[in-house]
Structure 1
Amino acid sequence: MFKRMRRLRYNPHMRSLVQETRLNLQDFIYPLFVIEGEGIKNEIASMPDVYQMSKDYILKECEELQKLGIYHILLFGIPSCKDSIGSAALKDTHIVAQTTKLIKKEFPQIVVSVDLCFCEYTDHGHCGILDHKLQSVDNDATLINLGKQAVILAQAGADMIAPSAMMDGMVSTIRKALDHANFAHIPIMSYSTKFASAYYGPFRDVAQSSPSFGDRKSYQEDYANRREAILESLEDEKEGADILMVKPVLIYLDIVREIKDKTLAPLAIYNVSGEYAMLKLAGKAGLIDYQKAMIETLMSFKRAGADIIISYHTKELAKILQGDK
């Protein structure tokens, strides 16, 4: 066996022939952050090469993405006005709905997935309506608003709804709301296993969504609980999720593998901001070969069982793959 495997790896073209795992750009989704206003492109210090962009710059970005062969995006919104219930997300004029309409008009081939949550829209930074007695999110009251928000975004032209609030029953609520509004064809990519993680810090800088008090441990997953994490995804599948997700991914590859072994549904992972920033900053400091480390990291996600990779590295990967042609 040793000699046979050594022979198969001796020549680089032979190694390529027997390579088990490959990166395909069509498996990737690129996150974009749209902010209200015009002529805005703000780079985020904690996330090099990631920007808050106004609608006009988002359209320019989509044009570049198409040229690179990237046709899948995940859209987040940064509103100018926030309140206790995130009411800006419940209007058909809100920033993600407006931007989705523009993208689908100018670039109909781009698949627009939309994040469905309230943390960017609430003045307290939590993912829904607060239960002031418990000082946490009111699960059932938030479900009603998630259903409304899903329909607004579907009406705007969203191709897929991606609920990230981690409310119990959110998938079934959104599915019923979409079906009732004649959007039975719109799929749901659920953030089904989303951990209460320290790796979200840079994202909260770009999305301006840090909680003003406490944390999100009461509704996000305990990273110590393996069986519960698997159960959460399987429950969302029962409720009607078309695609499941694990977030973060880098230190949860064991969970990715176990969920993959227990479902036939497509499995997505979110390569989150903290994971991205660590590689970026380590490369900038000369501690690692950034490009090689990035490819190795992305390959580990596919090897663990991910069908879909949501990653801020997507544009860089596209340029590398174009160079290989």
Structure 2
Amino acid sequence: MIQFDRHRRLRTTPALRDLVRENRVTRDDLIMPVFIVEDLKGKREISSMPGVYQFGLDTILSEIKAITELGIKAIILFGLPSHKDDVGTGAWADDGIVQQATRKIKAAYPDLIIIADTCLCEYTSTGHCGVVDENGYVLNDESLKLIVKTAVSQTKAGADIIAPSNAMDGFVAAIRQGLDEAGFVNTPIMSYAVKYASSFYGPFRDAANSAPEFGDRKSYQMDPANRLDALREVASDEKEGADMVMVKPSMAFGDIMRDVREQTLLPLVAYNVSGEYSMVKAAAANGWIDEAKIVDEILTGMKRAGADLIITYFAKDVAARLVK
């Protein structure tokens, strides 16, 4: 008789498959992105992201209620101001839209973890993530000063975690020093350590009204073709004081997540970005795929690649299925 291994023995029933399953997505893994708009009343669906909405201050608590009732413990907050200028003043204003929303949410839901996206692109008239010189170049060190002011202002308003996404060199070190000097030594930094200049961000730029007015972000975000660059970025951010590191986007960068997982002992965050969300939604709307099964497979793949946490626009949908 032919001798061979019988791997199928552990796949014969659903219960047995569940028993030996190596990776699972839980509600504790999920972070829901939330868009808050300064001059909006009610809520408004984002046309390129079906099922995802922008909220005004008058409706934000209803969304937070829905999120918390599903057992999701963390959100990441993005703000759309009513006014923009060349230095993104609204990003660090005490009455900025993220600051207002944070105080409002914390008063009603003190146990919810609020992660503040810390960047200038939603607030600058150029749409870039920093200060731009007369030649259209985004200045690194000058931008860091404003990023630090933003991080401190967001933390004063009640943000639990600062998540800098500006992709400037030295941003973790600058923010860590700024937070410490302001007395916020216990505020963690979730660094967008590996942020590629990706085409998967298109729908987000509709949602956050943050597309660059000119040029692109390739002089500060990473080339998607580069692997070792990602590992250098993570090493720098870890040395500068990051408490968590992120890989963004996620679906096309599972190899990078695995590389980062093997390099760092810090918690690893995957960002399942807007373009990844919208592609699944479009295919599901056409009846080409089973959305729930595809989403579960995608997010499980991120866990398998090494992610501890997942920022995803599918968070509410997945949490609702996990409750049942």
1:257 alignment partner, SS class? helix
* Map of 1:76 onto structure 2: 78
* Map of 2:213 onto structure 1: 212
Residue of structure 2 aligned with 1:54, choices 33, 53, 56: 56
**2:138 counterpart of 1:137:** yes
* Map of 2:244 onto structure 1: 243
Give the Cα separation in 1 of the matches to 2:4 and 2:123: 57
Give the Cα separation in 1 of the matches to 2:18 and 2:230: 35
* Structure 1 runs, 4 residues or longer, greater than 3 Å off: 1-4
Deviations 1:2-46 (CA, angstroms, capped at 9, x unpaired): 654211110110100000011111011100000013532110110
Give the Cα separation in 1 of the matches to 2:180 and 2:317: 37
Give the Cα separation in 2 of the matches to 1:136 and 1:193: 21
Residue of structure 2 aligned with 1:13, choices 12, 15, 32: 15
1:203 alignment partner, SS class? helix
Change (3 A) 1:137 1:2: farther
Residue of structure 2 aligned with 1:113, choices 112, 115, 124: 115
* Map of 2:266 onto structure 1: 265
The code of the aligned residue for 1:81 comes to H
Give the Cα separation in 2 of the matches to 1:4 and 1:184: 54
* Map of 1:304 onto structure 2: 305
5 Å-filtered alignment, 1:188-227, equals 188-227=189-228
Change (3 A) 1:213 1:61: same
Give the Cα separation in 2 of the matches to 1:40 and 1:78: 14
**2:85 counterpart of 1:90:** no
TM-score by length of 1: 0.97
1:52 alignment partner, SS class? strand
Give the Cα separation in 2 of the matches to 1:286 and 1:2: 41
Deviations 1:145-166 (CA, angstroms, capped at 9, x unpaired): 1111111111000000000000
* Map of 2:106 onto structure 1: 104
2:223 alignment partner, SS class? coil
**2:34 counterpart of 1:32:** yes
The code of the aligned residue for 2:126 comes to H
Give the Cα separation in 2 of the matches to 1:297 and 1:210: 27
Give the Cα separation in 2 of the matches to 1:2 and 1:278: 42
Give the Cα separation in 2 of the matches to 1:132 and 1:307: 42
The code of the aligned residue for 2:188 comes to P
Per the TM alignment, residue 57 of structure 1 is displaced from its structure 2 partner at its CA by 1.4
TM-score by length of 2: 0.98
Give the Cα separation in 2 of the matches to 1:247 and 1:295: 18
The code of the aligned residue for 1:266 comes to P
Percent sequence identity over matched residues? 51
**2:283 counterpart of 1:254:** no
2:76 alignment partner, SS class? strand
Change (3 A) 1:258 1:56: same
- Contact 2:43 2:54 (C-alpha < 8 Å) held by counterparts: yes
Change (3 A) 1:70 1:2: farther
Deviations 1:216-248 (CA, angstroms, capped at 9, x unpaired): 000000111110111111111110000000000
Unaligned stretches of 5+ residues in structure 1: none
Tell me how large the CA RMSD over aligned residues is.
Answer: 1.0
Per the TM alignment, residue 89 of structure 1 is displaced from its structure 2 partner at its CA by 1.2
1:270 alignment partner, SS class? strand
Unaligned stretches of 5+ residues in structure 2: none
- Contact 2:92 2:154 (C-alpha < 8 Å) held by counterparts: no
Give the Cα separation in 1 of the matches to 2:125 and 2:4: 61
- Contact 2:92 2:151 (C-alpha < 8 Å) held by counterparts: no
Give the Cα separation in 2 of the matches to 1:7 and 1:199: 40
The code of the aligned residue for 2:236 comes to E
Aligned residues: 322
Per the TM alignment, residue 88 of structure 1 is displaced from its structure 2 partner at its CA by 1.1
